[in-house]
Structure 1
């Protein structure tokens, strides 16, 4: 029996606690889109900088490499389960760095996905390189793939073109890393930015689409989904992260905060997005519950 850790009052945002590989086998519901931010396998004892202070890059045991074979098997297993949870015309986005993205690309290919793009997210505010012995790390990669090679997917080409000033959106996105205002309910060590997830969601889903995040963390995917009138299921093992997710979702029940966040997102696009967000400023949608409960 699948039990929710949390559900928003309008049922657009659901959280499950547990291992995604175990939970995804327990229901048959299929999603329009999946965003996954899996372990990058980069917790190697190094140091970085946050807010001007040296900090360890170690995120936890879940982020440590188990070796080439086990890392590949882990990626194969969760991607395989996610494939089963995608609609036939659905797409998946997977973020990473060089530590894991090549393994992810290999597993996507082996499992029959068609890779559509490799987005390069160039951060406008990356942390400095303390060693001064190599180039500063300032990018992450996001693979976008569709489930079936022969079944077309949804892409809001015209909106992306409009966001990009009237020209085709390229696969290089210059967007900020997480900002201070996104940490109001606590901080996740690998938290993604709302402007980034908003662009991903707007480009590849329609209104009221169902979105899955199997490594939800602090649920930036879900917060962006809710702000953009999509529906969301997030899975994570860590109660502390799920509590941050819950608090973030309840925070945007406040209309003023909700509109403030929409305004901040619109700064990284243009007036067309602002108009779109204004159109979507309606009463909360009370749709059908996620049909995964027994």
Structure 2
């Protein structure tokens, strides 16, 4: 029997309401003017039906080059050359959809990155490679535990792109506060503790994977955290910009985009994953919060109690 604290979204299609399923778009519909929707279909076919030059930010989380099952659909590991051909195929379909100043983020594990890098470099400008310390994965007796993933930051134009650095600062607790002439040096003393808002780096150690007690958690095997996607969306897009995800999974990128007042469109081949994503999108109006993102900054792990205290104080001041 499931614990009352377990908030995982993993209902079956039989348990999904007809109203929920009717909100999901299918490729038979006119897709030229579609936004703020999930499309259930094959991305390689659907992308040919979308309007060109509309995407400000593309979030690409394709199957890594591993043997993996997604709702009964198997992705089989390919040779490096085969996976590069697969990658070039979706890139060729994505490019016509991008605006001239669009940004693209591509997710991968370390092994897949070696195949991706030359193809990404050939098609886009590589601005950076982010390392996400996801702290999950089984240990190994003969190798190091795989606790990191790569996120490639790419742009269509090498010099014209959006990057809002002030919107993605990280708030860290100050353990040894330094004062100069009695005044706090590069940190703030508050009634909730001493903190420093630091500039973002390409090493992200403040983001946990979704787990069973989090409202965003689903039964998807490779779900990305809303906090991670919020960093990307805030940095590389502006309100009302168009966010596109051709491998949408359980809709995390779309939900995060909706919470941050962006337009969005996602494609996902599993109807079950689409249903989970649509269910989450329907909850955004009632709960637009993103765990780990409070007071306009991103917080370190294990600071949820302080974040909740700040939210209570903000609600009290608004009343």
TM category (shorter chain) comes to 0.7 to 0.9
Determine the structure 2 residue equivalent to 1:17.
40
Q: Deviations over 1:151-186 (max 9, x none)?
A: 411000222346574443110001111222446674
| Structure with bigger gyration radius | 2
| 1:58/1:93 CA distance change after superposition, 3 Å | same
List alignment gaps of at least 5 residues for structure 1: 44-56, 279-294
Q: Contact (CA 8 Å) 1:12, 1:230: kept in 2 or not?
A: no
> How do residues 143-158 of structure 1 correspond to structure 2 at under 5 angstroms?
143-149=152-158, 151-158=159-166
SS in 1 for 2:103: strand
Q: Does 1:126 align with 2:158?
A: no
Determine the structure 1 residue equivalent to 2:97.
85
Determine the structure 1 residue equivalent to 2:84.
72
Q: How many residues align?
A: 249
Q: Deviations over 1:85-140 (max 9, x none)?
A: 111000000000023222222212222x10011000012x42341x3221111111
RMSD across aligned C-alpha pairs, in angstroms? 2.9
| 1:12/1:27 CA distance change after superposition, 3 Å | closer
How far, CA to CA, are the matches of 1:118 and 1:238 in structure 2?
29
Determine the structure 1 residue equivalent to 2:9.
none
- Corresponding residue to 2:55 among 31, 34, 55: 31
How far, CA to CA, are the matches of 2:58 and 2:214 in structure 1?
22
Determine the structure 2 residue equivalent to 1:49.
none
Q: Does 1:103 align with 2:103?
A: no
Determine the structure 2 residue equivalent to 1:40.
64
How far, CA to CA, are the matches of 1:182 and 1:18 in structure 2?
28
Determine the structure 2 residue equivalent to 1:228.
260
TM (norm. structure 2) is 0.70
Give 1:79 deviation, angstroms: 1.4
Q: Which of the pair is proportionally richer in helix?
A: 1
List alignment gaps of at least 5 residues for structure 2: 1-23, 173-195, 300-305, 315-319
